Chain A
Amino acid sequence: MLRFLVRRSLGAMVILLIISAVTFFLFYAVPRDPAMLACGKNCTPDALEVIRKNMGIDEPIPMQYWHFMIGIFAGRTFAQGACPAPCFGYSFANSDPVWDTILDRFPTTVSLTVGGAIVFLVIGLGAGMIAAWKRGTFADKLFSTGSLVLSSMQIYFVGPLVMALLVFNLGLLDQPSYVPLSEDPAGWFMGLLIPWMVIQIIFTANYTRLSRSSMIEQLAEDHVRTARAKGMSGKFVFFRYAWRGSLIPIVTIFGVDLGSLLGGAMITEWTFSLPGLGKLAVDSVANTDLPMVMGVMLFSATFIILFNVIVDAAYAFIDPRVRLA
């Protein structure tokens, strides 16, 4: 297990290094000068030079990249002041420290992701299992068709629709917003209820279909048939043997989904004006804000890779037949 973790961690670092290099160098392929944006009116070459120096973009691009990477581990000093490790620099757009901004936005994304994940896991897995259990019945057809319809929906379509109905017309729910859980638990819950409902619509459909097919596959396995032949009850066989085996593909997908969502649910955050990492990423790209883009990209990529490792490790616990090599 230890060897596995060490090897995967090293691999993850190489992947992160590649992502950072690709993002950094791609940024300069965009025909837009962040210094020009900050230069304001009556901009002159002299003024541009000063701004480029303040931004740290007056050096050759490979050198900038080197300093950026060093800063992550050792910290750096900017015109705005010292930037302790992990230092991703200061935003070009508003001079905020990138790392502090990411930490400030992360709780919104975590709240959205964890709440949404609980909802879509419970509903998705539940519906999938019922559909598999009642295969061929009306319930199966209802869940299967329903999930097909829902999976074709998009958040930017469903979101405003739900808001128009439940908030603006009926006034049943609060407008989506984020207040920290520690400050106002009820406000936190009510503010995120609609985003959770909407995000689960999209994901639930996938999990319903996946868990149904996986469960049906498991129910046809030899060991399940054997258990039934031994006289075990259908319910016991379903939960004790089939369900556990059906989890592997679900855990795989869930790990990837969770990692992606923690890296920023861009469309959901944008649709509901939630100040999370996804919205930060979109704003940063729009503002040609390289340090922020780099920070969010690496932060998000870390989560995706981390959850992939966790998923791989989890296989061994879920299914003892799997060995980590």
Chain B
Amino acid sequence: MRTARVSVVGLAAGALILTGCSSGGGGDAGGVSKDDAAKQQIKYEFGDAKDSTGPAEPVKGAKKGGVLTVYQRDSFAHLDPAQIYVSDEGSMSTLIHRRLTSYKRDSAGKYTVVGDLATDSGTPSKDQRTWKYTLKDGVKWEDGSPITSKDIRHTFERQFAPFISEGPVFIQQWMAGASGTGYRKLLPDGPYKGDHLSDKVLETPNDKTIVFHFKDPQPDLPYALGMAGYAAVQKKGDTKEKYDKKPVASGPYKIESFKSGKSMKLVRNTEWDAKTDPVRHQYPDSHNIQFGVSFEASTKRLVSDSAENQTAVSYSNQVDASSMQSVRSDPKVKDRSLSGYQPYVGKISFNMDRLKNKKVREAIAYALPAQSLMQAFGGSGGGELAGNYLSPTVAGHTESDPYGKVENPQGDVKKAKRILKEAGKTGMKLTFAYQNSPEWSDFSIAAKDNLTKAGFDVQLKDIVTDTYYDQIGKIKNNYDMYHSSWGADWPSASTVIPPTLDGRQVQDGASNYSHYNNPKMNKEMDRISKIKDADEAAKEWGKLSDEILKKDLPDVPLMYYKQIQLHGSKVGGAVMNNVISGIDPTQLYVKK
């Protein structure tokens, strides 16, 4: 779950979804259709012991050796798994950290949640309140010592320590049966002052077994355990805050050097055993990562395919909006591109403390030109028109479009004008805040034009990108409407609807930007959260999502974000990974 602070933190981790256009690296840049997305509306299956056994399926034509150059815009702020949430850190994390479960992508593009350090994706009790995991034989840290259940217990106990503030909190909340940061009371100092989680919450009866006990059914646990933020931390090597700079590796690579903001070098971890890993490969000798390379710069370099750029790639830098058209129209470059959905849905959020009249919100919804936003983000390569809150890649998505944003992407100004007149609000002042990026600046002008024609007196308020989410995240802000976006953590709307629309989570800095609070809907969220059957839950989330949109309209959905990524001509194995929302670094190799 997260907001797309595109310019600040890069692209988020989480669920869905990017399309691997071809296993060899080619792709139909910008050409992901809704059909493709629907195919990837994945109900990830939970794998058994056989699915979880290594080695991973070999990448066709892959050879060992070579140095991979990696261009990244943003440096990695965190290396401690417990602090990792953003997708570029998540990509790197798959190379150095292992978790209890992980997401396996086969050559046909099918995803399965498998045991990573564990022998399978987990054994639940009937009521799904208890989950049991067993560690594989032969899993080791980079120093050669075995990974044991003591390390896993420590991994989860330290998630409660005060210095851990940026990683996922799902499992901690489930353990504590608490919302918000209430979970911290369960183990306020983490394991560092001698306290530990009770066996009623987390059991480790021997070196191999881990048993989670929750107050409520948690059918999504295998998904959550596969997040980068829940990767294992070595108890012996835990240096608390300093672990964030020098973590102990368990994956196929370890850190040789890391200079924040400059560079990072990953080299082979000789203690990693491919036979224990069903997900990762260890093809290149090293990954040489350069930070501070903007989207524009990496696009130019990779398009040129000159010298060292032939063996270069980026885990998460995408083609910049201004270059999308040229990338798509040059067959040679297009062959080296991959495209797909990001997990985000771009919306206009209404400040419901100020815009209380639903008719007014409706008039705005009809008037807004979604097409202009898509164009600003580079056309069909940068996004796709959105009819509702659930991305096509989230289970429960429907094609509903109650406000005609897909059917009439230029906006229906006449209808908006009529509705505003009926509401008796023609000429009302409207403050529209947007971040002063080129894309949103362009959209704001088009939006103002339509809204003015519909009868609003629009005041545009541009906000510096860096402070944008702080500003709109304040409950007492002075804006009537502003844009926001959100992406799922895994393919369930449970990581979309409650974080953005649960009225009990309205507070400064929280992600319910519209301040929407409907007790009836809140109750419904609680009910659906407890449904054990994933298919049924998905349907119910879809229904609830549409009901909120139609009845209350707290936000107007405009666009499902997409992206295009490039790689050099001597990079093989480039495929998009749905889980990390970018090129999968574990499958890459250097062509000879």
Contact = CB atoms under 8 A, between A and B. Distances in A.
Interface of A: 30-33, 36-44, 46-48, 50-51, 54, 79-81, 91, 93-96, 101, 104-105, 160, 163-164, 167-169, 171, 174-175, 177, 273-275, 279-280, 283, 286-288
A40 B470 CA distance: 12
A79 B241 contact: yes
B438 to A, nearest CB: 15
Contact of A273 (B8, B181, B292, B471): B292
Interface in B235-252: 241-242, 244-245
Contacts of B262: 104-105, 275
Contacts of A160: 300
Given A38-B166, A42-B510, A175-B308, A273 B293 contact: yes
A286 B8 contact: yes
A51 B304 contact: no
Contact of B163 (A36, A54, A81): A54
A30 B467 contact: yes
Question: For the complex, would chain B's binding face be called helix, strand, loop or mixed by DSSP majority?
Answer: loop
Nearest to B3: A41
A36 B292 contact: no
Query: Shortest 6 CB-CB distances between A and B: which pairs?
Result: A168-B304, A275-B262, A40-B166, A32-B467, A43-B509, A44-B181
B165 A104 contact: no
A32 B162 contact: no
A108 to B, nearest CB: 8
B108 interface: no
B165 A167 contact: no
A192 to B, nearest CB: 15
B180 A42 contact: yes
B511 A41 contact: yes
Contact of B169 (A33, A41, A81): A41
B180 to A, nearest CB: 5
B244 A95 contact: yes
B261 A101 contact: yes
Interface string B462-499: 00001100110100000000000000000000000001
B562 interface: no
B77 interface: yes
B254 interface: no
Contacts of B259: 104, 275
A163 to B, nearest CB: 7
Interface string B168-206: 110000000001110010000000000000000000000
B307 A40 contact: no
Most A Cβ at <10 Å: residue of B1, B291, B304: B304
Contact of A101 (B241, B260, B471): B260
Interface string B51-75: 0000000000000000000000001
A95 B239 CA distance: 14
A154 to B, nearest CB: 16
B507 interface: yes
Given A54-B163, A177-B290, A286-B466, A96 B260 contact: yes
A221 B168 CA distance: 75
A280 B294 CA distance: 14
B240 to A, nearest CB: 9
Contacts of B301: 168, 175
14 contacts: A30-B467, A38-B165, A41-B511, A43-B508, A43-B509, A50-B165, A94-B75, A101-B261, A164-B300, A167-B306, A174-B307, A274-B292, A275-B263, A288-B467
B85 interface: yes
A324 to B, nearest CB: 41
Contacts of A101: 260-261
Contacts of B510: 42-43
A289 to B, nearest CB: 11
Nearest to B241: A80
B165 A51 contact: yes
B509 A50 contact: no
Most A Cβ at <10 Å: residue of B75, B260, B290, B301: B260
A109 to B, nearest CB: 12
B525 to A, nearest CB: 15
A30 B263 CA distance: 30
Most B Cβ at <10 Å: residue of A48, A163, A168: A168
B292 A279 contact: yes
Nearest to A170: B306
A94 B260 contact: yes
Given A42-B180, A96-B260, A273 B290 contact: yes
B2 interface: yes
Contacts of A31: 467, 470-471
B544 interface: no
A93 B292 contact: no
A172 B30 CA distance: 33
A286 B301 CA distance: 24
B294 A41 contact: no
B260 A175 contact: no
A31 B467 CA distance: 7
Contact of A36 (B77, B306, B470): B470
Contacts of B460: none
Contacts of B244: 95
Contacts of A288: 466-467
B209 to A, nearest CB: 30
A54 B244 CA distance: 15
Contacts of B168: 41
Contacts of A33: 470
A39 B473 CA distance: 13
B91 interface: no
A51 to B, nearest CB: 6
B242 A81 contact: yes
B169 A42 contact: yes
B294 A273 contact: yes
Contacts of A96: 245, 260
A249 to B, nearest CB: 36
A175 B304 CA distance: 11
B521 interface: no
B58 to A, nearest CB: 32
B297 interface: yes
Given A40-B85, A273-B290, 10 more contacts: A31-B470, A40-B165, A40-B167, A41-B85, A41-B511, A42-B179, A42-B181, A94-B260, A273-B292, A275-B259
Contacts of B282: none
Nearest to B463: A31
Contacts of A47: 165, 181, 184
Interface in B267-306: 290-294, 297, 300-301, 303-304, 306
B218 interface: no
B314 interface: no
A48 B508 CA distance: 11
Contacts of B78: 94
B163 A283 contact: no
Most B Cβ at <10 Å: residue of A33, A44, A164, A175: A175
A287 to B, nearest CB: 8
Nearest to B292: A273
Contact of A168 (B181, B245, B306, B499): B306
A79 B162 CA distance: 11
A241 B163 CA distance: 67
A51 B184 CA distance: 14
Interface string B499-520: 1000001011111000000000
A301 to B, nearest CB: 21
Contacts of A54: 162-163
Interface string B4-21: 000010000000000000
Given A275-B291, A275-B292, A288-B466, A50 B75 contact: no
B577 interface: no
Contact of A44 (B180, B292, B294): B180
Contacts of A169: 304
B339 interface: no
A177 B290 CA distance: 9
B309 interface: yes
